[in-house]
Structure 1
Amino acid sequence: MSNYLKKGFLLGLGAAVSGKEKLEQKLKELVDKNELTQDEAKSMMDNFIEKGDTKKQEWSSKQKKQTQKIAKEMGIATTEELEDLRRRIHTLELKLADKDVIEE
């Protein structure tokens, strides 16, 4: 992962943790003042966490696509391409081994 992506991820993670802690504190205050029920506060927190997970998945998907794009531009083979080459080499080795057995 590039240094910029890593720093951006850590910055976002820090903001999310800070935001979650502040939200928990605010919800607790509202429950203590009887402006919110415990169930409502829990529902709001669950909603916050769910949205965070969705954003995390979106970010991971975008990061993966960007990494693949950079790798392609640099001419770096993908795992799938390497596996395909391994299979092709293995098939050729088997054919050569069979040919050697027939010729002997």
Structure 2
Amino acid sequence: MSNLLKTGFLLGLGAAVSSKEKVEKYIDDLLSKGKVTPKEADELYQSLLKKGEETEEQWSTRSKERMRSVMEDLNIVSRDEHLQLKQKVEVLEQKIMQLEHDNKQTNDDNQSEF
């Protein structure tokens, strides 16, 4: 599973870098041909950058939703569920220790009476 996530991350990163380079080259070509002014090129770049960030956010949200679905299908607990269970176990362990301590005290008190 870890390898799958790593591969997906690297593919996304590679696509982002490649896309950014293509956008920069495209805008440089427009500038060199005189089809846009430097101000228009900057506005176009910023607009495309913003759209790219929005698309990345959407992709990230969909990826997280898919991952949650896969984890549910495989009956894998989330980090929050794990921490909640861990806390419950710790509370129960403390209660057991307290009961054992109380029981020992009671036994010691009973034996001292004899």
TM-score range, shorter-chain basis?
0.7 to 0.9
**What TM-score, normalized by structure 1, do the two folds share?**
0.77
2:38 is aligned to 38
Runs of 4+ that moved beyond 4 A: 1-5, 12-16
- The one-letter amino acid of 1:89's match is V
TM-fit CA distance, 1:74 = 1.1
CA distance in 1, matches of 2:17, 2:85: 44
CA distance in 1, matches of 2:23, 2:96: 67
Q: What does 1:1-104 correspond to in 2, within 5 Å?
A: 3=4, 6=7, 10=11, 13-103=13-103, 104=105
TM-fit CA distance, 1:17 = 3.5
Query: Highest relative contact order (Cα 8 Å, sep 6+), 1 or 2?
Result: 1
- RMSD of the TM alignment (CA)? 2.6
- Point out where structure 1 has 5 or more consecutive residues left out of the alignment: none
% of aligned pairs identical? 28
SS in 2 for 1:56: helix
CA distance in 2, matches of 1:7, 1:16: 12
**What TM-score, normalized by structure 2, do the two folds share?**
0.72
Larger radius of gyration between Structure 1 and Structure 2: 2
TM-fit CA distance, 1:64 = 1.0
2:112 is aligned to none
- The one-letter amino acid of 1:43's match is E
CA distance in 2, matches of 1:7, 1:84: 29
- Point out where structure 2 has 5 or more consecutive residues left out of the alignment: 106-114
- The one-letter amino acid of 1:57's match is E
